């Protein structure tokens, strides 16, 4: 039986040497069709309604109308900062802290790529990321599904002039700034259910995400 990944493990990942490296293509969130993964947010992020999934039911009786979604959303800042070759994400909205990747080439505060060991998805709702300072960023994603299909993984590039709201159930990691450290406005379901995958332990690989524009 698989066991979920604890908060301690998210900050202290055990990553074996010699894992296969799988390169992930970068796609432009503005010009490519990303509707399978996310919504483009061009309006005021404070007003944007993050989609919430009704609480699941068992048995034959349905949920009553307007119930199962009453927890609403929570919001805050998501910061992405490099420390000793590790990209650390801190999500104030849910009091979370995670190692979301490892520096590849370049220097440890401005690498050329990130090796990704983990992804998660939220079955209870979507998640919005928006740069109030118009910082370019990348979000790695895999389509919704019970098991992550690595061959369908992509990295969505945003030039910072719009936001990205991931759809419920889409596998993803935190925000990867293009140029050093940054922070982003985030909003997601208050229930904050989280399902994770450890690529090294389950698939014997890491996903490599280049930190660049897709047309460079």
pLDDT at 34: 96
Residue 23 lies in a domain: yes
Task: Look up the CATH number of the domain holding residue 26.
Answer: 2.60.120.480
* Domain-located, residue 132: yes
Rama region for 18: left / alpha / beta (φ>0; ψ in -120 to 50; rest):
left
If one counts the domains in the chain, the total is 1
- The domain in which residue 28 lies consists of 18-54+69-210
CA distance 139 to 171: 10
Q: What average pLDDT values come out for the chain (216 residues) when binned by 10 residues?
A: 86 97 96 96 94 93 94 97 95 96 86 96 97 97 97 97 97 95 97 96 97 86
Domain-embedded: residue 200? yes
- Residue 107: what pLDDT? 76
Position 108 in a domain: yes
Would you state the pLDDT for residue 41? 97
**Residue 212, H or E segment:** none
**Within-domain flag for 6:** no
Residue 11 lies in a domain: no
Q: Please report whether residue 38 resides in a domain.
A: yes
Domain membership of residue 194 (yes or no) is yes
Contact present, 194 and 120 (Cβ < 8 Å): yes
CA separation (Å) from 114 to 9, 100, 148, 162, 197?
Answer: 19, 9, 19, 23, 17
- pLDDT score for 21: 98
pLDDT at 2: 65
pLDDT confidence of residue 1? 54
């Amino acid at each position: 039986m698989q066991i979920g990944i604890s908060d301690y493990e998210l900050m202290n990942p055990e990553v074996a040497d010699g894992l296969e490296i799988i390169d992930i293509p970068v796609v432009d969130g503005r010009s490519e069709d990303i509707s399978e993964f996310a919504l483009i947010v061009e309006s005021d992020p404070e007003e944007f309604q993050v989609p919430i999934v009704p609480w699941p039911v068992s048995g034959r009786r349905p949920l009553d109308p307007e119930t199962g979604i009453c927890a609403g959303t929570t919001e805050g800042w998501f910061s992405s900062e490099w420390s000793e070759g590790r990209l650390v994400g801190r999500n104030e909205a849910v009091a979370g802290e995670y190692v979301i990747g490892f520096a590849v080439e370049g220097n440890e505060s401005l690498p050329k790529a990130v090796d990704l060991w983990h992804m998660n998805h939220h079955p209870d709702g979507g998640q919005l990321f928006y740069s109030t300072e118009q910082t370019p960023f990348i979000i790695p994603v895999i389509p919704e599904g019970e098991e992550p299909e690595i061959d369908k993984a992509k990295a969505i590039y945003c030039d910072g002039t719009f936001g990205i709201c991931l759809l419920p159930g889409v596998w993803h990691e935190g925000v990867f700034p293009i140029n050093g450290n940054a922070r982003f406005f985030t909003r997601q379901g208050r229930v904050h259910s989280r399902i994770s995958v450890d690529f090294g332990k389950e698939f014997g690989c890491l996903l490599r995400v280049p930190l660049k524009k897709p047309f460079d």
